[in-house]
């Protein structure tokens, strides 16, 4: 079955202690859609400006991404984020953000997108996430990703969104902030009370935690010897996760969710090994399967 | 088989946002010896002053701990640590340390201790760890725990110790410091080069990582809803680990090490649920086994 991803389609300029990489393909939807494409047919809903390089369109197409929902505003500017990482690659700071065509964007979905069963509301304003949900007809499974920014400036919209989604993905700091609870394990039931049946808390190199009706799953992260650029790892994680779910031919979401998380985690590990989408786009399904098998051995006791 | 533990036997005064707890039983050896006692006969090598409360001797005895190696200096003062935890229980600061009888202590082992097969050099100065090792005859498996303090003030002694032990246990920050490597996964082979065949990196609530001749094991931590006092969790972890190893009747260390780590992790989880040793000492083998089974389910995919 197919996956619809809405989120930002951006240009990222990324500085690390070792190099500068201007105007890479980035944005939550770009990372998520490529990650999902390893498993299932994927539709991108996004907006770019006239400055969006055609080679990035080629990259989406290489992954078989349906671009009928990608709007191009000829006289507009593509969303541009620039940031800098510290030596240990754990801390980053935003140098500059230009919203461009994302500012005030109200996506209009092609008719063909209306019945997509798997929906990923990748990180973008809750207002846009609502607009997309409004145009969909009874999706089978909806995942929302978010970030602290929306808790700070659009909390009411976000809380309303949580009543409409099956699964919320956020990082540990965001989980603590959302329900004002220091202990992540204790935060989980409080987040469920806000709406989502499934909650996934991302902890970067420490893996992730799933909470759902059948309890908790502690998921490992693939142990990486070298992190080149973690930008987009969280988006790749959730993209890989929903792609894997959409690819399953039978069985319930519950049955497949743990392995879906592990597959998302593995795609995220490849994302970290190159700038922007450089490593992810070179990844093969066989490489993903090999790391999943490795992870199985790494956690067995 | 039996376990010998050397380390500090201390009085801990612990402040948290919610309460003050003066002169609890603490110290690396106290936590480790009680943790190990759930699995195997355990011998304590330590030193206390005349102020050491008899109720703590009773507590050791309740756990069947062999106290013939516990020296009492009547006119001396027991090692006393006082510290304070922040709201989230992750950061602590030392308020005061009185070394007392630990200062310049040179342990002399009873003859009966010489052939103990499993040896835990719990956190104490590398000088004392060497003195104990010197008095042992071909132990089967030696684990050393350490901390950043010894890297700062006794690095040469510590590096010499690493050539003499089978396994080193340290936390992630200490691992980075020891080999000046930001990436923990990359730090592992560099630590092996310093001597120990097995390296275990503790990551608190994020679990731990074992590295050995047969590769890496990613171990989970038991997800705790409430952390009352994490003091001694690392000591409980390594104590439970070596106790579990010593209790195995057949098979190699390699065969049992992963489950040993999980058992150590579970004992550490109980430690965190009470002040000092309050919760650990009330724990039963059945409770430990139940949490191990729970962890098996929590990580399965």
Q: Is the pTM of the predicted complex or chain greater than 0.80?
A: yes
Q: What is the mean pLDDT of residues A242-260?
A: 97
Residue of B nearest to A87 (CA): B182
Question: Nearest C-alpha of chain B: how many angstroms from A150?
Answer: 24
Q: Minimal CA–CA distance to B269: which of B223, B235, B201, B218?
A: B223
pLDDT digits (tens, 9 = 90+) for A50-64: 999 999 999 999 999
At B79, the pLDDT band (50, 70, 90 cuts) reads very high
pLDDT digits (tens, 9 = 90+) for A87-117: 777 788 999 999 999 999 999 999 999 999 9
Q: What is the mean pLDDT of residues B97-122?
A: 97
Whole-angstrom Cα distance, residue A141 to residue A145?
A: 13
Whole-angstrom Cα distance, residue A156 to residue A170?
A: 17
10 Å Cβ neighbour count for A279?
A: 16
Record: fold of B3-299:
3.40.1190
pLDDT digits (tens, 9 = 90+) for A154-199: 999 999 999 999 999 999 999 999 999 999 999 999 999 999 999 9
Identify the residue among B16, B186, B218 best suited for mutation to test binding to A, counting A beta carbons within 10 A and taking the highest. B218
Strand order in the sheet with A118-121: A66-73, A42-49, A3-6, A118-121, A141-145, A167-171, A198-202, A208-212, A215-219
Helix extents (H) in B70-183? 126-134, 148-153, 155-162, 172-179
Q: B170: alpha, beta or left, given left = phi > 0 and alpha = psi -120 to 50?
A: beta
Q: What is the mean pLDDT of residues A268-288?
A: 98
Query: SS3 for A113?
Result: helix
Record: contact A258-B216, CB cut-off 8 A: no
For residue B17, the model assigns a pLDDT of: 84
For residue B54, the model assigns a pLDDT of: 98
Report the DSSP beta bridge partners of residue A119.
Answer: A4, A142
The minimal CB distance from B223 to the residues A89, A218, A295 is found for A218
DSSP A19-51: -EEEEEEESHHHHHHHHHHTTS-EEEEEEEETT
pLDDT digits (tens, 9 = 90+) for B227-266: 999 999 999 999 999 999 999 999 999 999 999 999 999 9
Q: Kindly report which listed range (A185-194, B78-87, B125-134, B189-198) carries the lowest average pLDDT score.
A: B78-87
The minimal CB distance from B225 to the residues A186, A206, A217 is found for A186
Per 3-state DSSP, what percentage of chain B is helix, strand, and coil (rounded to 5)?
40, 25, 35
The minimal CB distance from A301 to the residues B205, B217, B227 is found for B217
Whole-angstrom Cα distance, residue B144 to residue B122?
A: 6
Residue of A nearest to B261 (CA): A301
Whole-angstrom Cα distance, residue A90 to residue A80?
A: 21
For residue A91, the model assigns a pLDDT of: 80
At A84, the pLDDT band (50, 70, 90 cuts) reads very high
* B266, B231 contact by CB (below 8 A): no
Interface residue ranges in chain A relative to chain B, Cβ cutoff 8 Å: 87-89, 182-186, 203, 205-207, 209, 215-220, 223-227, 258-259, 261-262, 295-301
């Amino acid at each position: 079955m197919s996956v619809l991803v809405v989120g930002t389609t951006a240009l990222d300029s990324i500085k690390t202690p070792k190099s500068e990489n201007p105007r890479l393909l980035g944005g939550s939807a770009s990372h998520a859609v490529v990650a999902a494409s390893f498993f299932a047919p994927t539709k991108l809903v996004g907006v770019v400006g006239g400055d969006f390089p055609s080679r990035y369109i080629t990259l989406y197409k290489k992954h078989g991404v349906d671009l009928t929902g990608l709007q191009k505003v000829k006289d507009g500017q593509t969303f541009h984020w620039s940031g800098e990482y510290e030596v240990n690659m754990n801390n980053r700071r935003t140098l500059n953000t230009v919203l461009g065509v994302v500012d005030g964007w109200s996506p209009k979905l092609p008719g063909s997108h209306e019945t997509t069963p798997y929906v990923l509301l990748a990180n973008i304003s809750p207002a846009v996430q609502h607009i997309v949900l409004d145009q969909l007809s009874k999706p089978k499974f909806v995942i929302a990703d978010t970030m602290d920014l929306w808790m700070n400036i659009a909390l009411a919209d976000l809380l309303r969104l949580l009543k409409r989604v099956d699964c919320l993905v956020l990082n540990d700091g965001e989980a603590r902030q959302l329900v004002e609870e220091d202990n992540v394990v204790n935060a989980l039931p409080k987040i469920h009370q806000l709406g989502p049946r499934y909650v996934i808390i991302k902890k970067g190199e420490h893996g992730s935690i799933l909470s759902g009706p059948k309890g908790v799953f502690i998921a490992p992260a693939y142990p990486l010897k070298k992190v080149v650029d973690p930008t987009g790892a969280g988006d790749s994680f959730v993209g890989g996760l929903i792609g894997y779910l959409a690819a399953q031919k039978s069985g319930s979401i519950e049955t497949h969710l743990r392995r879906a998380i592990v597959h998302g985690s593995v795609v995220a590990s490849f994302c970290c090994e190159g700038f922007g989408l450089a490593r992810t786009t070179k990844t093969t399904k066989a490489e993903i399967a090999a790391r999943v098998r490795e992870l199985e051995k790494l956690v067995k006791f």
